[in-house]
A and B are shown apart, each in its own frame.
Chain A
Amino acid sequence: MKKYPLGEFEEVVLLTVGVLYNDAYGVRIKDELEKRLERRISVGALQSALRRMESKGYLESKFGEKTNERGGKRKRYFFITSYGKKALESSRDVRNNLWNDIPNIALDLD
């Protein structure tokens, strides 16, 4: 079994939350992701990924201050937990090992 279950899209979202440290709420994350991935992301896709990771323990969240914007609804800011950090690290390690093990010849395609 996978030690740290983390989907590809989830990983990207998790990383983005890290990038946006202290400013990672729904719309902001969505904008950042769309900019970096160069594709449209629906609120539904993003939110379900966030909630899934929250329930797995990779993320935690807290409400922001109440303002008059957004129809008086508070923002929810997400933060990476240390467990989330481990998951990211493990994912990166797997990739790094893979990169390292690729024989040079295999990528010598030009």
Chain B
Amino acid sequence: MIKRAAEKFFKWYCHPDYYEDIKGDLNELYERQLIHANASKAERFYALEVILLFRPSIIRSFHWWDITNTLEMIQNYLKIGLRNLRKHPFYSFIHILGLALGLAAFLFIHHYRVFEKSYDRFHYQPEQLVRLTTDNVLNGKIQVRDAMSFAPSGKALKEELPEVIGHTTTYKTFRMVFKKGELPVEENGVIAVDSNFLNLFNYKVLEGDKETMLLEPYTIVLTESQAKKYFGQTNPMGHTIEVLGRFNRPFRVTGLIEDIPPNTHYSFNTLISLRSFQERIVDDSWRNFNYYTYLLLEKQVNFEQLQSKMPALSRKYLGEDNGLVFNIQPVEDIHLYSDLTFEPEIHGSAKAVYFLGIISIFILLIAWVNYINLSTARAVERAKEVGLRKVVGAQKAHLVGQFLTEAVIINFLGGILALTFVILFLPYFNDLIGKPVFSSVWEHSGLIRDLVLFFILGTIVTGLYPAFLLSSFRPIGVLKGSFGRSRQGTLLRKSLVVIQFAASLILIAATVIVYQQIRYMTNKDLGINTEQMIGFGNPERGQMEIDQYTSQYKSFTDEVNRLPGVAKVAGISDLPGGGSSDISSTSGGVTIIGVTERSESTVYVNGMNDRLQSTLELEIVEGRNFNHEFESDTAAVIVNESLLKVLNVTDPSSVINEYLQFGSNPENDKLLIVGVIKDYNRSSLKNNIEPTIFYHRESPAQTLVKLNQESLTAGINQVEQIWNRFYPNAPFSYSFIDQRFEKLYMEDKRFGFIFLNFSLLAIFVASIGLFGLSSFLALQRTKEVGVRKVLGASVNNIVLLFFKDFLWLILIAVIIGVPLIYMAMNDWLNTYANRINFPWGVLFLAIILVLALAFFTVSYQTWKLARLNPAKTVRHE
């Protein structure tokens, strides 16, 4: 080993005139050494002599033409490579397009994944930030995990635990109405925070004092874009914004921060001081948990260890028999991994990101496989060239250089085209994802780097194997024409085609299953009729007396009900089609006195007036609807079937006219159960139906209006006119209930659509590759086609015969693909509370589709050949 390296080195540097005799001397000495010492010592001695020979009088002269020789070789490689490219425009096109599409898709998805994983990593100490959440535990089992926590808990934990070095308590407001100038504006991005907030989440403060600007009640901090919206170019500091509704008073602007980045789970556009809600906080105290609390921990705190201290602390502050336990979760993981109730955002899904990652790798692999397959298949064509080159003196290294250069050219052109695709499709891609993943190719760090990186990697992956395969042909064999197809090469090619088929099959089946599940959810009977129905929030009561407010609301609804464009009107606290965090819940326990034990599961509370039942067409299973004429109905409730299930009641009639009670105190209000309604889906079908108790509210927070079929817009206009007369200070903003439900599935649909797009792309890339490969293989058998035809084969015979080769590969792909699809997609479907059964029919359909796709791509060239006059084809070669 050492000797050989030394010999090479010596040969390289030694002056050619001196080489022979010095080499001979070295050999003689080496042989003499072998007699006295062992081989390895002799080799080391040899190497030492060679190194000592490296001196000016022995070394050959290195001339400038030695370098230009290499340069000229490279020029030659390039020239021949480009000629080959032009000579076979069809195959070159397939190579370049495939690689470009693969690379572009990979880059897009890769950077989308990077974006999704970047959530909340921009904070100052992201790994030290945790969110305090609350688990509802019953009999040692976690029932519901809630993202919210109690208002005083942050402060309490900071005092109890040395690991906690900072805390902030925040409250996400539901909907606020601001007024600056004439029109009231609805704001959905307002959160109330304490003065610690900007120490934990260090958004850049542009104006105002970070420590004090959120200390006082009725102060407000705007982001730059909000400031522009309300104040234009003038400096907003010290000015006021009118906050209507509950507050109905001006808030003073005390600070200005920069716009927050899109990749945070807790986004907002306006901060108001938490002190503004002082009354509510005192009232909630350790009773209700409606707050998002964040803690800043010491460096390198063990989360599990910290978590183990929580049960004892929970008992200390919440009482012994309480089912609620504090829980912590790293802020970095919230966006992708947290799936709690009352999340502040529609969170991302680690699974979706993972699935997309797999697709992107599929696409890239398929593109690479295309290149390897087609170039090894075309080896036959270039075998003669290799043979001749070798005969006239080309060494293996030169041939490898030639073929690698061709791979570099094609990958380079593919890379350029990929970059063009990325630039062209960037707006479409951001639209598809629904988030600004990146805005410019040049400014987005890492994109060009990854492009170059994967260009190099792609060149190595795609170039190396064909280069070594082609350059290893023996000149005698290929020139004699007895060039047999390499068995190994064929096996590799077949396995790669199997992988392509399997990938296509998996992608087709998965896409259809995703779509079926979404269609199932959007079309499933919700248990209510929401056609032509709009919903809108009622104005806040503010300082108005409840009776006055109710009677105003009653006359409003009466007038709306009389409109020609309106069929029905009803009031409800939480509109159908809301997110999981829209509804109130309680974990304080609920009992039906004398009928059931107390259950501490989370139950949900909604409110309705007596018109709701007929408006939504709710089915009453037992008992009756509310009636506003019954004085006693103010303390009555209606429950749904799911609630009875939670309480282990099987017979609905047994609870009618019994009393329901919240909490554990026997002095609490007793509520008469007047009816049981059939379950209906208030929210996404991803979740189970909530066990719900409906109060009777004559003027609940929201209104549902069922419009007449003929005049939707006219109906809405009429309602708005009445609204403006009754509530001139509140904005009228309605939404269709059907659309609200659709919005719940927006993320799933988006995922489905992204999946569809990239699957199609992957299948397209695979198809063009397969098309190229099979066309080439068919052309190789042109003569055979002619002979067969002469002997009486029909066109169909020939096409089917040739297709049979691929049929086996598809069969193997099916055997590999089906279990994979079942495992992955069943797993995915299990994340939905209402899921479809695994659709075996879809699988069957996907197989048929792959077969059809393969048939058309594979058989096109055969068909074209088979139709030719055999006189032409037999003469081929």
A residues sitting closer than 8 Å to B (CB atoms) are: 25-27, 30, 42-45, 47-48, 51-52, 55, 63, 69-71, 73-76
Chain B residues with Cβ under 8 A from A30's Cβ? 25, 29
Report how far A51 CA is from B18 CA in the complex, Å.
9
Given B21, B26, B28, which contacts A69 in the complex, CB threshold below 8 Å?
B28
Q: For the complex, is B597 an interface residue (Cβ under 8 Å from A)?
A: no
Question: How far is the CB of A53 from the nearest CB of chain B, in Å?
Answer: 10
A73 close to B57 (CB less than 8 A)? no
Is there a chain A Cβ closer than 8 Å to B87's Cβ?
Answer: no
Contact B58 A75 (CB under 8 A): no
- Listed from nearest, the 10 A-B pairs whose CB atoms lie closest are A73-B24, A44-B52, A76-B21, A26-B25, A44-B53, A70-B24, A48-B57, A42-B52, A71-B27, A70-B27
Question: Interface on chain A toward B: helix, strand, loop, or mixed SS?
Answer: helix
Residue in chain A with minimal CB distance to B54: A44
Q: Restricting to B45-68, which residues have a CB under 8 Å from any CB of A?
A: 48-49, 51-58
C-alpha spacing A45/B48, complex, angstroms: 12
Beyond A26-B25, A44-B49, whether A73 also contacts B54 by CB under 8 A is: no
Chain B min CB distance to A91 (Å): 21
| B853 interface residue (CB < 8 Å to A) | no
* CB atoms of B24 and A75 under 8 A apart: yes
Q: Across the interface, which residues of A come within 8 angstroms of B20, CB to CB?
A: 63, 73-74, 76
CB neighbours (8 Å) of B21 from chain A are 25-26, 63, 73-76
In the bound complex, how far is the Cα of B58 from the Cα of A51, in angstroms?
8
| Further pairs besides A26-B25, A47-B18, A47-B57: 19, Cβ < 8 Å | A25-B25, A27-B25, A30-B25, A30-B29, A42-B48, A43-B22, A43-B25, A43-B53, A44-B54, A51-B18, A51-B57, A52-B57, A70-B24, A70-B27, A70-B28, A71-B24, A71-B27, A74-B21, A75-B24
The total number of A-B Cβ pairs within 8 Å is 69
Determine the chain A residues whose CB is within 8 A of the CB of B117 once the complex forms: none
**A49–B244 Cα gap in the complex (Å)?**
102
Interchain CB contact under 8 A, A48 and B58:
yes
- Can you list 14 residue pairs at the A/B interface with Cβ under 8 Å? A26-B21, A43-B22, A43-B25, A43-B29, A43-B52, A44-B53, A47-B22, A47-B25, A48-B53, A48-B56, A48-B57, A69-B28, A71-B24, A73-B23
Chain B residues in contact with chain A, CB under 8 A?
18, 20-29, 31, 48-49, 51-58
Q: Which of B27, B55, B58 contacts A73 (CB 8 A)?
A: B27
Chain A positions within 8 Å of B23 at CB level: 71, 73
Q: Hey, which chain A residues are within 8 Å of B48, CB to CB?
A: 42
A76 to B49, CA, bound (A): 18
Minimal beta-carbon separation of A78 from chain B (angstroms)? 10
Expressed in whole angstroms, the Cα–Cα distance for A45 and B52 within the complex equals 7
* Interface pair A47/B58, CB less than 8 Å apart: yes
Nearest CB in chain A: distance from B4 CB, A = 13
A28 → chain B closest CB, angstroms: 9
**Interchain CA distance A108-B55 in the complex, whole Å:** 43
B55 CB, nearest partner CB in chain A, Å: 5
Q: B519 → chain A, closest Cβ, in Å?
A: 80
Closest B residue to A48 using CB positions: B57
Residue of B nearest to A63 (CB): B21
Query: In the bound complex, what is the Cα–Cα distance between A75 and B49 (angstroms)?
Result: 18
The distance in angstroms between the C-alpha atoms of A99 and B453, with both chains bound, is 75
B22 A26 Cβ-Cβ under 8 A: yes
Residues of B within 8 A of A55 (CB): 57
| CB < 8 Å neighbour of B49 from A25, A43, A51, A73 | A43
Q: Which residues of B contact A69 (CB under 8 A)?
A: 28
A43 & B26 in contact (Cβ 8 Å cutoff): yes
**Chain A residues closer than 8 Å to B25, beta-carbon distance:** 25-27, 30, 43, 47, 70
A74→B24 CA distance, assembly (Å):
7
What residues of B have a CB within 8 angstroms of the CB of A48 in the complex?
53, 55-58
Complex Cα spacing A43 to B31, Å: 15
- The residue in chain B whose Cβ has the minimal distance to the Cβ of A64 is B21
Closest to B48 in A: A42
Task: Report the minimal beta-carbon distance from A48 to chain B, rounded to whole angstroms.
Answer: 4
Find chain B residues with CB under 8 A from A47 CB.
18, 22, 25, 53, 57-58
B432 to chain A, nearest CB (A): 69
How far is A30 from B28 in the complex, measured between Cα atoms in Å? 12
Residues of A within 8 Å of B18, CB to CB, are 47, 51
Minimal beta-carbon separation of B136 from chain A (angstroms): 85
CA of A25 to CA of B28, assembled, Å? 12
A38 to B18, CA, bound (A): 27
Q: CA of A59 to CA of B90 in the docked complex: distance in angstroms?
A: 67
Residues of chain A lying within 8 A (CB to CB) of residue B49: 42-44
Give the Cβ gap from B20 to chain A, nearest Cβ, in Å.
5
Complex-state Cα separation, A76 to B24, whole angstroms? 9
The docked-state distance in angstroms from the alpha carbon of A44 to that of B49 is 7
A47 smallest CB distance to B (angstroms):
6
- A69 nearest CB across to chain B (Å): 7
Q: A51-B58, A52-B57, A76-B21 are in contact. Are A27 and B52 (CB under 8 A)?
A: no
- Whole-angstrom distance between the Cβ of B638 and the nearest chain A Cβ: 104
Least Cβ–Cβ distance between A25 and chain B, in angstroms: 7
CB distance from A81 to the nearest CB of B (A): 18
Across the two chains, which residue of chain B brings its CB closest to A42? B52
Q: Which A residues are in CB contact (< 8 Å) with B53?
A: 42-44, 47-48
CB of A70 to closest CB in B, whole Å: 4
Closest to A51 in B: B57
Cβ contacts under 8 Å, A70 to chain B: 24-25, 27-28, 31
- Which residues of B lie under 8 Å from residue A52 when comparing CB positions? 57
| Closest A residue, CB atoms, query B24 | A73
A51 to B49, CA, bound (A): 17
Q: Complex: how many Å from CA A76 to CA B21? A: 6
Closest Cβ of chain A: how far from B652's Cβ, in Å?
Answer: 103
- Docked complex Cα distance between A55 and B18 (Å): 13
Residues in B whose Cβ lies below 8 Å from that of A71? 23-24, 27
- Docked complex Cα distance between A55 and B57 (Å): 10
A53, closest chain B residue (CB): B57
Report whether A27 and B58 are in contact in the complex, using a CB–CB cutoff of 8 Å: no
Docked Cα-Cα span, A26 to B20, in Å, equals 12
- Distance between Cα atoms of A55 and B55 in the complex (Å): 15
